[in-house]
Amino acid sequence: MRLGVLTGGGDCPGLNAVIRAIVRSSWYRHGHRVVGARDGWRGLLEGAWVELDVESTRGILHRGGTILGSSRSDPTWFDEQPGDVEAQLRAQRLDGLVAIGGDGTLRVAANLARAGLPVIGVPKTIDNDIGGTDMTFGFDTAVQVASDAVDRLHSTAESHNRVLIVEVMGRHSGWIALHAGLAGGADVILVPEQPVELEDVCARVRERAEHGRRFSLIVIAEGVALVDDAGGGTLRTGRVTGHGRLGGIAHRLADELERRTGFETRATVLGHVQRGGTPTAFDRVLATRLGVAAAEAAHERRWGSMPGLRGGRVELTTLAQAIAHPRHVTVHDLAIADAVLGIGPGRGRALYRNVVS
């Protein structure tokens, strides 16, 4: 067999590990050859291919980014052109294609598979919001980076009696915020899935001060919309839909919080530092497991499928299912945060609405 592979959408730590696993297990187990499309779907359509083998995938396991390059493309654009993709596959004499990506890339892959093309998906994203898998690789690394930042900010917040706000990535889902906040012992965790009123955030900071804690650490996901209960509408930045750029909600919150409470408040936006650099050992192993499973699925011609981590095991699901059910932070996940982020006996006022404890 001859397989194509591409990485699409925002990069994340672990992409090189999964490319390596696909190339090596295809070759070692079955003698199948692999070629890579440069820069995601764009490179595929432009015919920019590169041969991959054991030699060219040597020494990349621990490296961040993707040796193939990546690009963002509008998933709906492909709906009209499965024929162009098919022509490329034929020109390259490819028996199948493995598309490694987040929701946008996998949506394209699902549509192509529905149109009858031989496509398999592999889920990746630091946001951890893909259905059909309990976890995506890249997430563990991003959480480690973010919780290290929270730890560092904690000590300086305490020294200066300041409120410090850390903004992490997460367009539609707050997994990074929740996990980094829990791991770093943040006092307030704000996620896109649960609207929180500004006044409730201020109240928590004031309550802490009344109990002698004159500093506070807040972790907020970039896609959060804060409800301005004073009648000012919703506080948010950027366009959450599509790939509009986000970033800066922490600064807006800092200004508003300082104005309302009088406490000195500063913001730190972590941005792309969460996406770059060396993957954790966990992400390397998860990426390798998914890569081997994807190569195996291609060998068995299980087109339209996607390997995912389910209860500790790697299992195949359909791309259609994975796309239809994105993973979001639920009220049950937030209940854990509410349980440990109280103020004092009987004063652990729930921050989130509708949270089930």
Cβ at position 203, least distance to ligand F6P in Å = 29
Site string for ligand F6P, 266-285 (x = CB under 6 A): ---------x----------
Nearer to ligand F6P, 248 or 342 (CB): 248
Considering only the stretches 24-32, 122-130, 299-307, 312-320, report the one whose residues sit in contact with ligand F6P under the rule CB under 6 A.
122-130
Considering only the stretches 34-42, 148-156, 240-248, 337-345, report the one whose residues sit in contact with ligand F6P under the rule CB under 6 A.
240-248
Q: Residues with Cβ < 8 Å from 321, sequence gap 6 or more?
A: 131, 132
Q: Under the criterion CB under 6 A, does residue 171 sit at the interface with ligand F6P?
A: yes
Find the catalytic residue in 11, 127, 140, 333: 127
Both tokens of residue 140?
A: 């563990």
Asked about 127 being catalytic, the answer comes back as: yes
**In the complex, residue closest to ligand F6P by CB:** 169
Q: Under the criterion CB under 6 A, does residue 169 sit at the interface with ligand F6P?
A: yes
Considering only the stretches 163-171, 253-261, 279-287, 343-351, report the one whose residues sit in contact with ligand F6P under the rule CB under 6 A.
163-171
Tokens 């300086």 sit on residue:
156
Q: Under the criterion CB under 6 A, does residue 193 sit at the interface with ligand F6P?
A: no
User: From the list 31, 90, 159, 245, which residue makes contact with ligand F6P (rule: CB under 6 A)?
Assistant: 245
Q: Under the criterion CB under 6 A, does residue 170 sit at the interface with ligand F6P?
A: yes
Which residues, listed in sequence order, are joined to residue 219 by a DSSP beta bridge?
Answer: 166, 189
Q: Residues with Cβ < 8 Å from 142, sequence gap 6 or more?
A: 12, 13, 126, 168, 169, 176, 274, 275
Cβ at position 129, least distance to ligand F6P in Å = 8
Q: Under the criterion CB under 6 A, does residue 72 sit at the interface with ligand F6P?
A: yes
Considering only the stretches 107-115, 195-203, 238-246, 279-287, report the one whose residues sit in contact with ligand F6P under the rule CB under 6 A.
238-246
Q: Under the criterion CB under 6 A, does residue 102 sit at the interface with ligand F6P?
A: yes
3-state secondary structure the chain: CEEEEEECCCCCCCHHHHHHHHHHHHHHHHCCEEEEECCHHHHHHHCCEEEECCCCCCCCCCCCCCCCCCCCCCHHHHHHCHHHHHHHHHHCCCCEEEEEECHHHHHHHHHHHHCCCCEEEEEECCCCCCCCCCCCECHHHHHHHHHHHHHHHHHHHHHHCCEEEEEECCCCCCHHHHHHHHHHCCCEEECCCCCCEHHHHHHHHHHHHHCCCCCEEEEEECCCCEEECCCCEEECCCCCCCCCCCCCHHHHHHHHHHHHHCCCEEEEECHHHHCCCCCCHHHHHHHHHHHHHHHHHHHCCCCCEEEEEECCEEEEEEHHHHHHCCCCCCHHHHHHHHHHCCCCCCCCCCCCCCCCC
Q: Under the criterion CB under 6 A, does residue 131 sit at the interface with ligand F6P?
A: no
Nearer to ligand F6P, 243 or 353 (CB): 243
Nearer to ligand F6P, 49 or 175 (CB): 175
Site string for ligand F6P, 218-237 (x = CB under 6 A): ----x---------------
Q: Under the criterion CB under 6 A, does residue 123 sit at the interface with ligand F6P?
A: no
Q: Between residue 5 and residue 64, which ones bind ligand F6P under the rule CB under 6 A?
A: 10
Nearer to ligand F6P, 145 or 169 (CB): 169
Which residues contact ligand F6P by CB under 6 A? Answer: 10, 72, 102, 125-127, 169-171, 222, 243, 245-246, 275
* Residue numbers annotated as active site: 127
